[in-house]
Amino acid sequence: MILFFLILSADVQFDSLIKQGIHYSYSEKYGEAESSFRKAIEIKPEDPAPYLFLTFLYGLYMADFSTDSIEEKFFAYSDTTVLRSEQKISVGDSSALVRLWLAGGYGARAFHKVQHKNIFPGIQDGVKSIKEFHKAIEIDSSLFDAYIGVAGYNYFKHRLFSYIPWAEDSQWENEIKLACDKGKYFKLAAIACYSALLTEERRFADAYEVITQLVSEFPDTRTFRWIRVKSYCGMKKWDLAKDEYEKLLELTLTGQPENFYNIGYCRLGLANVYLESQFIGKCKAQCEEIINLPDNPKTQKVKEEARKILDKLLH
């Protein structure tokens, strides 16, 4: 009986640390998130979950800071996620959850590779990921986190065949809503993904409604505001877009004062908003701020865009 309660207590603590780490991740408290996941590893070193969420954490950090500086750690932990999952499967673990972690391990690698133009290896990992997401649902259809993966796959098919009227399929939206409404571990990721896909569909008002709940929950973080500002621009709500870019600039200057690319990107957003609103002087001022940023390969791209805007204003 005592052993049972000890095991139960360890399981509860493990799960609590995973959920705490997820919340820290989206609060952009990267050190605290890493600490939570590492404590979970100490409790259950054989479990794939904390390795997967460390993979996601490093991916989120690289996206937030526009850097590949911890790419080796990202791939090391995704490899460990896959290894731990396959070890569990090989000794007879037939749970849907282990399939979910395996799907996530492959999926994280696929997304990163495709983003970095490593297309064919990314597609290979993507196919493996989708296969495992489907297996997870076959084992347990109430594992709602897994629907984020099949929704992504069905959205891809939706876009691929969108030019054929009879092939139109909104199944992806029903699936991702399940992950948004009932997911336990991937809920926040699903909501952000849903808003991003709605933006791709040019359903900007819907995208705004979805992402704003996360901006409200995490008001001092950049991640979800980057998604919301796209919906404002899509709706041509220039005043709201200006306020959002100003907030993003403030958060970037505070949290990433040496990240000149992100600072430049915020200012570029402001410049475009001022251009659309016909505040020409303010547009020029933002472009000049961008051009005066320190030179590096990434700021060079933003500077080129700023110069294009200034050339447009001259002609």
Among 111, 141, 171, the domain-final residue is: 141
Crossing angle of helices 223-234/238-255, nearest 10°?
160
Same domain as 134, residue 250: no
End-to-end CA distance of the chain: give it in Å, rounded.
81
- Does 225 map to a domain? no
User: What whole-number distance in Å separates Cα of residue 113 and Cα of residue 93?
Assistant: 29
Q: What is the pLDDT of residue 10?
A: 79
pTM for this one? 0.93
Same domain as 134, residue 30: yes
- Does 171 map to a domain? no
- Does 186 map to a domain? no
Among 118, 141, 164, the domain-final residue is: 141
Q: 3-class SS at 125? A: helix
- Does 2 map to a domain? yes
Same domain as 125, residue 250: no
| Structural domain count of the chain | 2
User: What whole-number distance in Å separates Cα of residue 39 and Cα of residue 54?
Assistant: 12
User: What whole-number distance in Å separates Cα of residue 17 and Cα of residue 315?
Assistant: 58
- Does 13 map to a domain? yes
Among 141, 159, 192, the domain-final residue is: 141
CB-CB neighbours of 65 under 10 Å: 20
- Does 15 map to a domain? yes
Q: What is the pLDDT of residue 169?
A: 64
pLDDT, averaged in runs of 10, over the chain (315 residues): 52 96 98 98 98 98 95 98 97 96 97 92 94 97 97 88 61 96 97 97 98 97 97 98 98 95 98 96 97 93 96 85
Q: What is the pLDDT of residue 158?
A: 86
- Does 33 map to a domain? yes
CB-CB neighbours of 120 under 10 Å: 8
Q: Which residue has the tokens 């009932």?
A: 182
Torsion angle of the four alpha carbons 175, 217, 61, 114, in this order, in degrees rounded to the nearest 10: 20
Domain that holds residue 55: 1-141
- Does 204 map to a domain? no
Q: Which two tokens mark 72?
A: 């080796």
Q: What is the pLDDT of residue 165?
A: 59
Q: Phi, psi (5° rounding) for residue 279?
A: -95, 80
Closest CA to 106 of 85, 126, 77: 126
Q: What is the pLDDT of residue 3?
A: 43
Q: What is the pLDDT of residue 159?
A: 82
Q: What is the pLDDT of residue 157?
A: 86
CATH number for the domain harbouring residue 57: 1.25.40.10
Same domain as 2, residue 133: yes
